[in-house]
Structure 1
Amino acid sequence: MTEEELAELLDQLCPMHLMLNATGHVIEAGGTIRKLRPDCSVVGARFLDLFEVLRPRRVMSMEELLDAPDGRLHLRFRDDPQTSFKASLAPLAEGAVVNMSFGISLLDAVGAYGLSAADFAHTDLAIELLYLIEAKSAAMEASRNLNVRLQGAKIAAEEQAFTDTLTGLKNRRALDLILQRYLAASVPFALMHVDLDYFKTVNDTLGHAAGDHVLQEVARIMVDVTRSDDTVARVGGDEFVIVFPKLRDRKQLDAIAKRLIERLETPIGYNGEECRISGSMGTVLSDQQAGGEAGELLHAADLALYAAKHGGRAGHRFFDPSMTAPPAISSAVPRDRMN
């Protein structure tokens, strides 16, 4: 068998091999070995310049290399990455063959060098282990994708649970959680209760579809008037609550209320008809109620709202501790009789 035929045979049987001459220089290298060092001229280099022999120790020459017990070698590349190998050495008439086909860590083979099944002989156990790695990677990827979908579904479900389906605003459940979080963190805020005037008339004259359209337009106006970190929630049929974190300036709040009232008084078109409403508003500051309970703050804003409606509607009032619900619009009276 010629040297060329032997090299071709070795490349098929153990593609991670080196053929050395009598002086210990590489005269032929398998395709996989060349792939490990694409920028280095392996052929022609001295084997002991390429690799450090870890076992047996103190191997400094080709003669000492050939004397390795059972031809077993533990090697490590001298340059980076300093990958380690287990190898077997078989002497030839003039030189030797070093086989490292199953001597590389598969983590290094896949991670550092991107080797695949094509880089190993078909009989190598590495093939089976690579299949296991690929199967595990595929299973992990499928698991990650499933977790992403489940997390997305969870977020969507949570978002739906805290969202008013008609307007896309936060609902009462979301409002309660936000208020609890602000109160627990001692975040100062203002709470504005908004109730639409004459909304019942729209429903009675033009129908509920018109009423739904008006509510959606009102939601859009409220989001437009408020800041990005404010919370706008629909808490009842035509009732809304706006939470302004870190805002307690009465002049600024009153200006927001007046701007909102002005926008709400602009007629809203629906199927060629004009829907005319207005808004009454009551505001309480988070430090106005001793104890700072969410329910107490909502009740205080409600009292301020009652005062605004009692004062002529389309107005805004701040809560005052002296406020009580007037008999004409007490809580015993259905809210739709005040619209």
Structure 2
Amino acid sequence: MTSLPEEVLHALCPMHAVLSPTGHIVQAGPTLHKLSGRRLENARFLEVFEIYRPRAVTDMAGLRAAQGRKLHLRLRDGVRTALKGVVVGTGGGGAVVNLSFGIAVVDAVRDYALTSTDFAPTDLAIEMLYLVEAKSAAMDASRSLNTRLQGAMVAAEERAFTDTLTGLRNRRALDTVLDRISRQGRAYALMHLDLDFFKAVNDTYGHAAGDHVLRHAARIMLEESRKDDTVARVGGDEFMIVFANLTRMPRIAEIAGRMIERIERPVDWGTTKCRISTSIGIAISEGEGLSPTEIMDRADTALYASKRAGRAQFRFYGSDVADAPAALRGAE
């Protein structure tokens, strides 16, 4: 058959088959066993493999006659991955067939779960496998990097639009929202809130207490507004809320009244209680073409009307109702 020891052929040609003169497999490499999923010894080579080029190879005589030619073949059972082969006679009518995958190596690695140990150390398929793995790793790294970059951009944008103390939107976010709503021609209400007596809390109990009160007031504003409304801190103790597509004065008055009532409740700070209130000015845009700056000026005017009237109340811009809170709470 062959004078080469079995372990040498296994190491150099892990996809070889040694054939007897009758075409039976006398010895097969470990990778060939892995492809077939069974022991190949004593099986007829041409019953295990189909040679589809050259078509004349249908028996052992034809196989020996194809010595030196490239064979195109595949397993008759299981995954029919394309294989390449070459046959060399051994004398006495026997032969050695050595197989490879050619350009189908990537599919074979996937189909048969092959690793580098299933190939000869000098097989160029090893280099191809490394290239495929490197490409896959590079693509994974690229996707991961893109995901991280997108996440970082979103996080950076979120930080740029967020007030760090309260977690509310900031003035930049407010301007962006108002500009978008204005360009879309949508109706909205703008509520401007200023915390009354906040300076006294800071002066009496310190800035930590003041920060606690600000966060408490911010939480109330979020709870009393809708999910899609924009609540923003625009100054030390000033806030603005944009109510998109909400212009009904009785509904807005109801929200303002609840905010005033809740913010007036004493806020615990250690063993003491901090007391503040809030004054509110409200301007409504019905999509009449006023700029966000003009609407903010109107809300600011209404806010100071509330403060002049005694604080802890709200006013609508342009309203000539003497007691706006009482009148509007009862209107529906």
Category of TM-score, reference length = shorter chain: 0.7 to 0.9
Matched residue type, 1:290: E
Q: Is the 8 A contact 2:51 2:71 kept in 1?
A: yes
Give 1:250-329 correspondences, 5 Å limit: 250-287=249-286, 289-320=287-318
Give the Å deviation of 1:239: 1.1
Matched residue type, 1:84: A
Measured at CA, do residues 296 and 47 of structure 1 come closer, stay the same or move farther in structure 2, by a change above 3 Å? farther
Instruction: State which drifts further: 239-248 or 213-222.
Output: 239-248
Equivalents in 2 of 1:314, 1:122: separation in Å?
A: 84
Equivalents in 2 of 1:189, 1:24: separation in Å?
A: 88
| Structure 2 partner of 1:206 | 205
Structure 2 stretches lacking a partner, 5+ long:
322-332
For residues 195-222 of structure 1, what are the alpha-carbon distances to aligned partners after superposition, in whole Å with 9 as ceiling and x for unaligned?
A: 2112122223333332222112112222
Equivalents in 2 of 1:32, 1:184: separation in Å?
A: 69
Give 1:79-94 correspondences, 5 Å limit: 81-92=79-90, 93-94=92-93
Measured at CA, do residues 311 and 99 of structure 1 come closer, stay the same or move farther in structure 2, by a change above 3 Å? farther
Equivalents in 1 of 2:165, 2:14: separation in Å?
A: 67
Instruction: State which drifts further: 207-216 or 258-267.
Output: 207-216
Equivalents in 2 of 1:182, 1:58: separation in Å?
A: 78
| Structure 1 partner of 2:132 | 133
Measured at CA, do residues 105 and 219 of structure 1 come closer, stay the same or move farther in structure 2, by a change above 3 Å? same
Equivalents in 1 of 2:309, 2:194: separation in Å?
A: 14
| Structure 2 partner of 1:68 | 66
Give 1:1-339 correspondences, 5 Å limit: 7-22=6-21, 24=23, 26=25, 28-38=27-37, 47-48=45-46, 50-57=48-55, 59-68=57-66, 70-77=68-75, 81-92=79-90, 93-101=92-100, 103=102, 105-186=104-185, 188-287=187-286, 289-320=287-318
Q: Is the 8 A contact 1:218 1:264 kept in 2?
A: yes
Measured at CA, do residues 6 and 215 of structure 1 come closer, stay the same or move farther in structure 2, by a change above 3 Å? same
Matched residue type, 1:32: T
| Structure 2 partner of 1:326 | none
Partner SS state of residue 68, structure 2:
helix
Equivalents in 2 of 1:42, 1:286: separation in Å?
A: 85
- Aligned CA-pair RMSD: 3.3
Equivalents in 1 of 2:224, 2:83: separation in Å?
A: 69
Equivalents in 2 of 1:271, 1:298: separation in Å?
A: 37
| Structure 1 partner of 2:327 | none
Instruction: State which drifts further: 246-255 or 219-228.
Output: 246-255
Give the Å deviation of 1:160: 1.6
For residues 106-128 of structure 1, what are the alpha-carbon distances to aligned partners after superposition, in whole Å with 9 as ceiling and x for unaligned?
A: 32144343322111111212223
Q: Is the 8 A contact 1:102 1:124 kept in 2?
A: no
Matched residue type, 2:190: L
Equivalents in 2 of 1:303, 1:46: separation in Å?
A: 98
Q: Is the 8 A contact 1:214 1:268 kept in 2?
A: yes
Matched residue type, 2:88: A
| Structure 1 partner of 2:329 | none
Equivalents in 1 of 2:230, 2:191: separation in Å?
A: 10
Give the Å deviation of 1:264: 0.5
Q: Percent identity?
A: 55
TM-score by length of 2: 0.80
Equivalents in 1 of 2:24, 2:227: separation in Å?
A: 72
Partner SS state of residue 273, structure 2:
strand
Measured at CA, do residues 37 and 2 of structure 1 come closer, stay the same or move farther in structure 2, by a change above 3 Å? closer
